[in-house]
Chains A and B, each alone.
Chain A
């Protein structure tokens, strides 16, 4: 028996065997006119490999969202990557981000490739909203059961779960405001954040127009143009890279039983979402638990997703996330600072990829809202859809 660390015989977890050694991005803005999604993707990838001290020609693997408009063939050719021996696409929109890094880590840890880049490029800010596409493709299962009734947008779908969550557990709009305000305050410290120079008060939050009751404007993420990328290599190679490695301590994906993307109303427990499933596998081989995290980057397309994820990943118990956001617990200086770059709500919404780069910055000690001495960081992707998560370690 060679098993160790609580692992089954013959199973070697990816624990700390790979690391993120490069991060790169373009500017993040409501509208970027100067470049296409393809160019933005290429710029972010070049920035990331440069940050890692690695030549583009050394990249031999790519991991991306299946929604990415710049596919492996295009990206590799545009940038001038080497021969690729690994390429993988992850589905389900905002659920995919950490999954791309997970696939990259698996590929590197198993020798399928040596330098894998994961990326996301999107012109969501200046482009049209996906929900305005009424073409038949968007109305296939399960759309026929929801959209003709006027449940049109992601915010409507999540608002349905939010109201039930508040009803069952006593959470209130004050708790949702806590999330929006904490994340905004972090953005106000981050010059790269879209909302850097726009402070928000509790009065501002409650004065905002409703979008889908009980959710108001500030419960919704930004709409952003921009691209980001990360570089994953082996822990051994990471020692030769210029920046301190952010070790990938654990990674997982989560697709719970009887799930429906965004409208999981026909599951046994609609509020027991993908986070709970991803958490099981994430902490299975980890050396630390959800109570030991120093900082967290939690997917925040909508404020209630932060509450659901705090519970789903076991940071607090069921129904406890609302009160947990009181007293500054999720702000810098609190028990568990959340979304220290400003997240999707106030830095940029690029399908959550900026949460990953911010996690790396926290492990490097270079965040604009640095948690002093942070050694562990949870990064999550979208709740409400088949999702994924990472545990990063310094």
Chain B
């Protein structure tokens, strides 16, 4: 079976495309960037070459506050890819950013900035919890947005 796309520990590496490079460069600097239309200022995610509101191709990146609300979450159990199975049951959350509810990022709720995706007791997680982004180095050297509870 192919293990392409996995890092040395068996985690999936984000496959960056032409449009998403600035996003991942941002997370490496500790910034959460979302694509923004230069013409009408509409935010859009995932990044793509044209504004779906005004059809402009002029685009840039806007820094987000990095705060949001848990919209939903799941707790996967095996069968999973081996590295993920070793951490199961872990959590995957969907965070609605404060700037616009259409901006929802998949991530993991962690207890410490470089914590494991399995360290928060899933039974304690609730929709509506407030969270803030941190950017630990992850698979392939990419910094995946992770989320800490806002006390």
Interface positions of A (Cβ within 8 A of B): 128-129, 132-136, 138-153, 156, 159-161, 163-164, 167, 209-214, 258, 260, 263, 265-268, 270
Contacts and interface: CB of A to CB of B under 8 A. Distances in A.
Contacts, number: 130
B73 interface: yes
Nearest to B19: A141
Given A134-B5, A138-B5, A149-B108, A160 B73 contact: yes
A199 B80 CA distance: 28
Nearest to A215: B74
Contacts of A141: 17, 19-20, 46
Contacts of A267: 102
B80 to A, nearest CB: 6
Most chain A CB atoms below 10 A, which of B5, B17, B104, B117: B5
B104 A140 contact: no
Given A145-B46, A150-B117, A163-B127, A265 B74 contact: no
Contact of A150 (B2, B52, B80, B102): B80
Nearest to A129: B79
B28 interface: no
B5 A213 contact: no
Contacts of B79: 129
Q: Which 7 A-B pairs have the closest CB atoms?
A: A213-B75, A139-B15, A164-B72, A144-B14, A134-B5, A159-B74, A148-B12
B61 interface: no
B16 A213 contact: no
B76 A156 contact: yes
Given A152-B80, A164-B127, A265 B75 contact: no
A134 B2 contact: yes
Given A266-B102, A268-B102, A151 B92 contact: yes
12 contacts: A134-B2, A134-B4, A139-B5, A142-B46, A144-B15, A149-B92, A152-B12, A156-B76, A210-B75, A212-B74, A265-B104, A266-B102
A140 to B, nearest CB: 6
A280 B92 CA distance: 33
Given A142-B46, A152-B84, A258-B52, A136 B103 contact: no
Nearest to A267: B102
Contacts of A149: 92, 106-108, 117, 144
Contacts of B6: 134
A163 B127 CA distance: 9
B74 to A, nearest CB: 4
Contacts of A266: 45-46, 102-104
A266 B95 CA distance: 11
B11 A148 contact: yes
Interface in B47-95: 52, 71-77, 79-81, 84, 87, 89-90, 92, 94
Interface in B1-30: 1-6, 11-17, 19-20
